């Protein structure tokens, strides 16, 4: 699959086919996360692949989102900013979630490429998630990802913000390029 096809195809899916997906595909997607950029090449994100049904049910409770409990596999991404803080002080606190986001996007695209679906679940009670998975208190849970195969009931893709609404030239809010051209997706 071409990169731009994977980027456009990825979408949040909250309904999963009953059959277990192949766990090897999930591990392959986690492997892709390692190739994201990280400050000073300090990769501080870790992934927990959860298959224990009871733990998955507890993660759904911690997120207060029932669909999480319907997945056969759930991946939890956890970062430890201590190395980054040692190297970069306060900036390290900022770098950890930034590089987690970059890695997570690699992971999401690699799932998409292998026909697996998920949703990035960011709403959860941290303490509950940590308790279920024995995650030390000082670490940060960056996201919960219930994973499955898409059912026949397809989820529609969300309309995305237009390019002209996110792009400025030379200064904040300036939408025009010099020489004056209004940039559109079609023109790129």
Question: Do 143 and 111 contact (CB within 8 A), yes or no?
Answer: no
Asked whether position 119 contacts ligand FMN by CB under 6 A, the answer is yes
Residues 69-108 that bind ligand FMN (CB under 6 A): none
Asked whether position 11 contacts ligand FMN by CB under 6 A, the answer is yes
Interface with ligand FMN: number of residues (CB under 6 A): 10
Shortest Å, Cβ 145 to ligand FMN: 10
Asked whether position 122 contacts ligand FMN by CB under 6 A, the answer is yes
Asked whether position 12 contacts ligand FMN by CB under 6 A, the answer is yes
Q: Which residues partner with 173 through β-bridges?
A: none
With respect to ligand FMN, which residue has the nearer C-beta, 13 or 48?
A: 13
Tokens 């049904």 correspond to what residue? 53
- The CA distance from 75 to 31, in Å, is 13
Sign of CA dihedral 52, 103, 105, 3: negative
Q: What is the DSSP string of 1-29?
A: --HHHHHHH--B---B-SSPPPHHHHHHH
Tokens 């207060």 correspond to what residue? 64
With respect to ligand FMN, which residue has the nearer C-beta, 40 or 115?
A: 115
Shortest Å, Cβ 16 to ligand FMN: 13
Options 1-9, 26-34, 37-45, 117-125: segment touching ligand FMN (CB under 6 A): 117-125
Residues 143-172 that bind ligand FMN (CB under 6 A): 158
- The CA distance from 117 to 111, in Å, is 7
Which spans of this chain sit near ligand FMN (rule: CB under 6 A)? Answer: 11-12, 14, 65, 119-123, 158
């Amino acid at each position: 699959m071409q990169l731009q096809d994977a980027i456009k195809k990825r979408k949040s899916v909250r309904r999963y086919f009953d059959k277990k997906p192949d766990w090897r595909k999930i591990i392959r997607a986690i492997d892709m996360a390692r190739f994201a950029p990280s400050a000073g090449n300090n990769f501080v994100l870790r992934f927990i692949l959860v298959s224990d049904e009871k733990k998955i049910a507890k993660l759904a409770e911690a997120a207060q989102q029932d669909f999480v409990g319907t997945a056969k596999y759930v991946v939890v991404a956890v970062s430890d900013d201590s190395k980054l803080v040692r190297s970069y002080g306060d900036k390290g606190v900022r770098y950890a979630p930034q590089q987690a986001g970059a890695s997570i996007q690699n992971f999401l695209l690699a799932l998409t490429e292998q026909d697996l679906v998920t949703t990035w679940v960011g709403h959860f009670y941290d303490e509950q998630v940590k308790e279920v998975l024995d995650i030390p208190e000082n670490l940060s849970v960056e996201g919960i990802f219930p994973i499955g195969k898409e059912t026949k009931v397809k989820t529609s893709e969300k309309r995305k913000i237009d390019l002209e609404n996110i792009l400025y030239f030379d200064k904040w809010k300036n939408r025009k390029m010099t020489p004056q051209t209004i940039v559109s997706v079609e023109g790129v």
